[in-house]
Amino acid sequence: MFITFEGGEGAGKTTQINLLKNYLKAKGQDVVLTREPGGTPEAERIRDLLVRRDGGNWTPTAEALLFFTARHMHVESLIKPALNDGKTVICDRFTDSTIAYQGYGHGFDLSILDQIQRLSIGDFAPSKTFILDIDVKDGLMRAGKRMEGDDDGSTEDRFERMNLSFHENLRRGFLELAKKHPDRCVLINAAQPVDDVHAAIVESLENDGSPQG
Ligand code: TMP
């Protein structure tokens, strides 16, 4: 099973990914945790170019191509082999993030993103996607707290530093994606206490008839 976690800044993805990993492991599953952009040595190098404050001033097209270059490497070298070995892969962000951030956030043409997606990963998609939804200001405050005192050019905050309307737009993007793909996407209210968010995620997986332990 290929599970992805999505959401704006400060939605609590990392916490929930770790809780789900522990839950699935306790059920006997072999779990691989990974993230985007990144997950392989090559893709992690591309990550630095994309998310660090000093990573570069990319044109929107170059930025979208770089995200999908990293994703292509990640899918081919890590995700597909792990799935073929019968492992469960949990990934922190995937294509939905590109649609939300580059498409809805930056206004990059969604049909061009769709073409780049087909070229780089075909119709490969997660089996389940949890979209953690939180009020933009609350999320940025949480994310900001995490970054406090961390203020050189290597800080991974190129997108967190965008203005409020950028973040409102990408939140709208995630909500639209949840509506467009109701079988794959589960929208979770991330303002709830951590344990309640985890319980909602587990309940959704159990209702799907998976995971099997
Ligand atoms: P993270 O902070 O969740 O690790 O994600 C890294 C940053 O990269 C985050 O600000 C969202 C951004 N991003 C995109 O803009 N497009 C993408 O396709 C992905 C995967 C991440």
Residue-wise pLDDT for 46-82, tens only, equals 999 999 988 999 999 999 999 999 999 999 999 999 9
Domain ranges (residues) in the chain: 2-207
Report which ligand 1 atom has the smallest distance to the Cα of 35: 4
C-alpha separations of 175 from 6, 7, 85, 107 in Å: 11, 10, 33, 16
Model pLDDT, residue 213: 39
CA 93 / ligand 1 centre spacing (Å): 7
Give the pTM. 0.93
CA 36 / ligand 1 centre spacing (Å): 7
CA 94 / ligand 1 centre spacing (Å): 9
Asked if the model's pLDDT at residue 154 lies above 90, the reply is no
Return the residue whose CA atom lies nearest to atom 15 of ligand 1: 101
Return the residue whose CA atom lies nearest to atom 18 of ligand 1: 98
| Percent helix, strand and coil across the chain, each to the nearest 5 | 55, 15, 35
Summarize the confidence of residues 161-183 as an average pLDDT.
94
Report which ligand 1 atom has the smallest distance to the Cα of 98: 18
Q: What is the token pair recorded at 136?
A: 């933009």
Pocket test of ligand 1: the residue of 75, 93, 129 to mutate, having most ligand atoms within 8 Å of its CB, is 93
Asked if the model's pLDDT at residue 44 lies above 70, the reply is yes
DSSP string, 21-65: HHHHHHTT--EEEEESS-SSHHHHHHHHHHHSTTS----HHHHHH
Strand 128-133 versus strand 88-92 pairing type: unpaired
Per the prediction, the chain carries an average pLDDT of 93
Strand 185-189 versus strand 128-133 pairing type: parallel
**Residues near ligand 1 with C-beta < 6 Å?**
36-37, 51, 67, 92-93, 97-98, 101-102, 159-160
CA 213 / ligand 1 centre spacing (Å): 31
The rounded distance, in Å, linking the Cα atoms of 71 and 120 is 8
CATH topology of domain 2-207: Rossmann fold (3.40.50)
CA 155 / ligand 1 centre spacing (Å): 13
